[in-house]
Amino acid sequence: MQVDTKVKELKYRLENVENRIRKSAIDCQRDPQSIRLVTVSKTMSTKRVKEAIDAGVEILGENYIQEAREKIDRFSSYPVSWHFIGHLQTNKAKYAVRLFDLIHSVDSLKLAVELNKQAKKIDKVQDILIQVNVGQEVSKTGASPEEAFDLIKNIDRLENLCLRGLMTMPPFFNAPQKVRPYFSSLCDLRDRIKAVIQTSIPMNELSMGMTNDFEVAIEEGATLLRIGTAIFGERN
């Protein structure tokens, strides 16, 4: 395929996603401005990332530190924000705080303590989300809803971390409606945590919804959508 055609296609897909977001938001009486799109660029070449930036994406989401580092270095002069959405190992915390504006996947106190320590070293207050395994699947990472309460109480004491909200990665279903209960549990959990835990921090973000189910996520209160395939096309 010609490069020009590929760029056009990406622009077209991005516009299509943005229009669907706007429409879903309006249909459920939400302000479209309260929903931000994280364009998931994992496995995409720097060339494709550049095309996405040129097409106007504002936030890029990456899953792997090594891969992200190359892209972030390359595009450091561009006005885009980078979010980490993959599983983060404690020994990579140092890189994560240097590279990312928001880390979506904090799921243990050990990781939070290390992120706090590394953020302190570079005099940064790191924005984070707690990843919750609302489906309680054995194979998935993320804190259980009970663990999330404990984690948040402890994180409140870590001065170089700022907790912005929760993230979830529900089980995969072909029918997006089947994911709805997982999204609504995450929203409930956030509201219960806010009611129970006395915290000065905002905790408003809900990172949920991907290519297959983002419209349902919007209906259930998502504020950050993580979308890859609908924008870049299928990953190899």
Ligand X SMILES: *Cc1c(COP(=O)(O)O)cnc(C)c1O
Binding region for ligand X (CB under 6 A): 40, 42, 63, 85, 169, 210-212, 226-230
In angstroms, give the least distance from the CB of 43 to ligand X. 9
| Tokens describing residue 38 | 């994280």
C-beta of 214: minimal distance to ligand X in Å? Answer: 8
Instruction: Report the alpha-carbon angle 5-8-12, nearest 5.
Output: 135
Nearer to ligand X, 129 or 158 (CB): 129
CB of 54 to ligand X, least distance (A): 20
Asked if 141 and 87 touch (Cβ cutoff 8 Å), the reply is yes
For residue 45, the tally of other CB atoms under 10 A from its CB is 10
- Tell me the DSSP string of 165-226: EEE--PPP-SSGGGGHHHHHHHHHHHHHHHHHS--SS---EEE---TTTHHHHHHTT-SEEE
Cβ nearer to ligand X, comparing 139 with 198:
139
Closest separation between CB of residue 204 and ligand X, Å? 19
CB nearer to ligand X: give 72 or 129: 129
CB of 218 to ligand X, least distance (A): 14
Backbone φ and ψ for 163, nearest 5 degrees, come out as -80, 120
Residue among 221 and 228 whose Cβ is closer to ligand X: 228
Tokens of 149: 């309460």
What one-character DSSP code corresponds to residue 226? E
Q: Which two structure tokens, joined as six digits, stand for 197?
A: 């835990």
Distance from C-alpha of 8 to C-alpha of 37, rounded to nearest angstrom: 19
Which lies closer to ligand X via its Cβ, residue 154 or residue 229?
Answer: 229
Least distance from C-beta 227 to ligand X, angstroms? 5
Give the whole-angstrom CA distance, residue 169 versus residue 55: 27
Residue nearest to ligand X (CB): 228
Q: How far is the CB of 199 from ligand X (least distance, A)?
A: 25
Which pairing describes strands 59-62 and 102-106: parallel, antiparallel, or unpaired?
unpaired
User: Closer to ligand X at the Cβ: 59 or 227?
Assistant: 227
Nearest to ligand X of 34, 229 (CB atom) = 229
Q: Are 166 and 151 in contact (CB under 8 A)?
A: no
d(CA 208, CA 219): 11
